[in-house]
Structure formats: structure tokens, C-alpha cells
Amino acid sequence: MDDYPSTGLPRLDLDLDRYLVPFSLRQVPQYRYDVIVVGSGAAGSFAALSAAEAGASVAVIAKDEVGRTNTSWAQGGVAAVLGPSDSIDAHVADTLAVGCGLSNPDVTRRVVAGGPDSIQRLLDLGAKFDSKPDGSFDLSMEGGHSHARILHARGDATGAEIQGTLSRALENHPSVDVFPHVFGVDVLTGDDGRAVGLLARDNRGELVAYGSSQVVLATGGGGQIYRETTNPTIATADGVAMGLRAGASVRDLEFVQFHPTCLYIAGAARVLISEIVRGAGGILRDRSGHRFMPDAHPDAELAPRDIVSREVSRRMVETGSTSIGLDLSAIDRDPHVAFPGISRICRFFGIDIAKDPIPVRPGCHYMVGGLSVDAEGRTTVPGLWAVGECSSTGLHGANRMGSNSLLEGVVLGEVVGQLAARDAAASGRPEIRSVSGRKHDPAPPGVQVNIADLTYSMKSMMWRQMGVERSDGPMREALGTFAFWSRAVGSLPLDTDNAVELVNMLTVARLATFSALARTESRGTHFRTDYPDRNDQDWCAHLEQVPLRGPSGAVDRVEFRREPVATSDAHGSVSA
């Protein structure tokens, strides 16, 4: 890693292959569509349905079952202005305040204003949300929100309700073909750099090519780059890595949101304990029973997630404990009825949530940064779009406000789908071409790399060196180790999904660590113990990483560009 004398920003050498897997058109089956959507969560489903209704033929590429996505795991809800005392202005102001100066006011207003129509769209498709006896929506509070505007379903199963609704709509739409258990490997581009399709691997391990002038990446996040995460195993940052190899810029990867309350029982999978539990009156207590959040923030347990996560981590260190207790005994309704999913999981481990504190600790929850897109979802590669968690739209800024992610996915997914269909009609269907082999030399005979061990080591290093709190020395150490591991993995034949996932995770882990090292301040989810203060004079800007290619087409390095943003106060007024 070197510094550019003119900017003071670092440069990172990547030596990243343009394509991970070679293929010949004579041996690989091809499918042609107007629009290809990679990912079947809320953002991808809305994009696909919107494109299909605009007249496009659409292929949806799902890495797992169509319904197994980050969306389906979302317990909390979707934020929208639906209550009589709430307003678009209030929701915008809350989002800008939590975004710590990096949220784009125009994008924020567009997403927030589109919320009610998107909720109506879900209702029209058959979604059922929790309501009061009078028939009005039963809206709840979450951290950072000034009003009760969180719409949920079956208490803590909002994501499952939305995903099920959208999955049924996809399966029933005559212009949408869904391909489950197909793993997107690389975005294909033509000689002019435009997207021309997708190379994928099906559930038999065979390569397949999908040709289209419009490719929408809606692959979700990359929580699996961390040892502790709320994300499902499929969340391996594939979209960001694929987009980067195709030439797309990425932005703000240093901002990773940690959810403060993940169920922590040794040997058990980490399970998210939704923020709606704290919204209903759940209290965080340390091992001595002390409620510590009122001492840290006026909003106590409903402070923004980055603040709660840091306080939970610090209290764990101070008390020498592996978890903190989440106490539901004082909430004003039966927690077993209010949160049946959480109750069922905890009961399996012998925890009665009505009287026993739930052991929790932070876990990686959401990638705030991602592929850099404009206001309409276009990446820097023509014909390549990104929406949902793998994108960086400018909505979340430096910290995502709870339940705004589902809102972003459904609102902007519809926009992206409509525009991609329009562009497809104007562009036609381009030709794809064979892809030559990788440029890395194979490993010497007898040398083996243990994919599972290396993956766990990477996840552990990210948790230690790039977790809730960071500093210069450990991050530099991590970058050196990641570079070493990347060279080792580069010698492998990437003939399994796990091997490709490891390349993707290592790529994004390096970029995120690199970006965190460059941003010498603390803001939102990015907290550096060596630079603990926010620095608006130098750092009220996005950090965009631009891939630079060598003669072979490989991404040899990335360089930074600072992208200044309009500043806004808590009420949404904007200044240059």
C-alpha cells in the first residue's frame, strides 16, 4: 500500500483477475433475456417484477432457494410514513441525522416519499401486516426514529412475510423465469466495457451463461466476512466483488453496521434479536444487573445501533463477560405472544424470555457501503445496475437507520426495474464471447489450500481487526495478511462455489479494511480509537474506490477519490 503524494490517500495493489472461471461458448449453454436480476430478495424481486410489468423478459438468478435471502431473515420491519402524526419531513430528518452528514438529501426524500406506495404494492400482492383492533397498522418504534413508523408482520416475521409474498409473485409472473440454486460467478462485459450478461454455475456444478444488455445486481450483503454475523451463509459479498471485477467503483465500505443484540450461546448459530424487542421496552443489563445505556445516550436502548453496539462491547470488556443480558420482564405485554419467533428459538436453548435475560452481543448486520450508483441505480459500468444492500445509494450515509433497508430495496427496486426494462428495449440483446483463462500461475504440485480453514481465519481477523472499534496498526496487519491469503487463493482452480465465495469475501474484506484505514476520523458505524472524533472539515465526503486495469484486463489496483456531499442539518435543509 502506497500513498499518492497529490492527495495523501492510499493506493492498494490488488492483482485481481478479470474473470475467475474460463469458459467456451461451444461448451456452455446460453439463455437470453432482456433483463437479468441476480438476487431474489426484496430489492431483486421488486426490480424483476417492475421490469416484467414494463414489458421485459426477466431472468432471476437465485443463489439458494428463491425465498432464502437476507430479506427472509429480517425480523424488525419496514419503515414507512403511515401514521397520522408522522410526516415525510420527519422521516427524512431522522434518516439524515442518523447518516451523520453523508446521507444524500435528495435520495433520502425520494426513498422516504416512495414508502407508502410500495407498502400498498405489497398489500396488493397479498402481504399481511400486523394491525390494531380498529384495523389501523400496528406501528412500532426503533432506534433513531422520532415516530412509530415500523410496520411488521406476525411480530418478528416481517421479512419472511415480505419475501413469501414476493417469491409467489415471481413464480406466478409469465414474463419472469426463476433459476434457483444458481451461483453468479462473474458479470460479462464486451470490448466496449458494457455489460452483456452473467456467467453462473448451476446446482450440478456446470457453467451456464445468461446474455442481456441489462444486469441488475441485488445480491445482498457480505456479513459472512465476519465471524459474528446475523446474516445467512449465502451473504458472501458476491455482488460487490463481481461488480468490481467488471470495472464498477465501490463506495463507503468502511461503514459496516453491527447489530448490538445477537443471541450468543457458545456453539449455537448467531440469531438476531430484533430491535423491536428494545422498542417494546427491552432493557440491556450487564452481568451485575446494571442498566447501562441511559448513562451512554439520552435515548438509552433506542440510541442508534452503532452507539449501542459500542457500549455493549465496552461493557463486556469492562465486566469480563462474553455477553450482555437483554431483559424483557418489564414490557407491557406477554413477550411470548409479541415475539413468537424469538420465543421459540430461545425456548429451545432453555431461555424463558418472560423472565430470563437473553444473552446477547454485537454481530455484523449490514454493509452500509457497496457498489457506487447514481440516483437511478446505475453503476459506473454501462448496463450494470445495483440495488439493495450491495449498492451505495446515498440513503444511509455513515449509518443505516433501522428498517430503512427494506424500504430502500422495495422503493428503488421498482425504479431500477422500470429503467432497466426501458434501456433493454433500446439496446437490444448483445453477443457474449468466450472467456480466456486466469493469469495466475497454479500452485506447485502437492501444495494445497484449505478453503474452510482460510475462510474461518479471515472471518476471525475481520472480527478482531475490523470490528466495532478499529485502529491503524491492527488494520495494516490485516491488510498484509489478506494480501498473502489472496495470492494463495489466486493459485487455486476456482471450480467450487466455496472457492469463488472466498475470493469474493477476501476482495471485499481488503477493500473495507483499506477504506477504514484511509478514513482518519470516527463517523457513524466507523469508529477508530486512534481518531475518535468526527472531522467534518476533511471527511464530510464519500470514499470511492475506482478499479484500475492492467494490460490483461485484471484489476491491478484501486485508487481513492473523495466525493464531497451536500451537508444537511437534522431538519433536512441542504447547503453546498
| Residues near 317 by beta carbon (within 8 Å), at least 6 away in sequence | none
CA-based radius of gyration for the chain: 23
User: 385: helix, coil or strand?
Assistant: strand
DSSP alpha helix (H) spans, 403-442: 404-427
| DSSP-assigned states of every residue in 16-36 | E-S-SS-B-TTTS-EEE-SEE
- CA angle, residues 264, 269, 273, in degrees to nearest 5: 55
Q: Are 48 and 169 in contact (CB under 8 A)?
A: no
Which residues are known catalytic residues?
305
Phi, psi of 418 (to 5 degrees): -60, -45
Q: Are 486 and 478 in contact (CB under 8 A)?
A: no
| Residues near 512 by beta carbon (within 8 Å), at least 6 away in sequence | 225, 253, 254, 256, 369, 466
Element spanning 207, H or E? strand 207-211
Give the span between the Cα atoms of 511 and 534, in whole angstroms. Answer: 22
Phi, psi of 381 (to 5 degrees): -100, 120
DSSP alpha helix (H) spans, 78-206: 88-98, 105-113, 115-125, 158-172
Give the span between the Cα atoms of 204 and 137, in whole angstroms. Answer: 45
466: its cell numbers: 475490523
Give the span between the Cα atoms of 376 and 393, in whole angstroms. Answer: 9
Q: How far apart, in Å, are the Cα atoms of 311 and each of 109, 260, 403?
A: 31, 9, 21
| Residues near 191 by beta carbon (within 8 Å), at least 6 away in sequence | none
DSSP 128: -
Residue carrying the nine cell digits 411480530: 155
Report which residue type is found at 189: T
User: 450: helix, coil or strand?
Assistant: coil
- CA angle, residues 299, 253, 310, in degrees to nearest 5: 30
Residue carrying the nine cell digits 481488503: 510
Give the span between the Cα atoms of 67 and 43, in whole angstroms. Answer: 13
| DSSP-assigned states of every residue in 330-350 | TSSS-HHHH-HHHHHHHHHTT
| Exposure string for 74-106, b = 16+ CB within 10 A, e = fewer | bbbbbbbbbeeebeeebbbbbbbbbbbbbbbbe
Residue carrying the nine cell digits 417494546: 280
Q: Are 363 and 228 in contact (CB under 8 A)?
A: yes
Q: Are 130 and 140 in contact (CB under 8 A)?
A: no
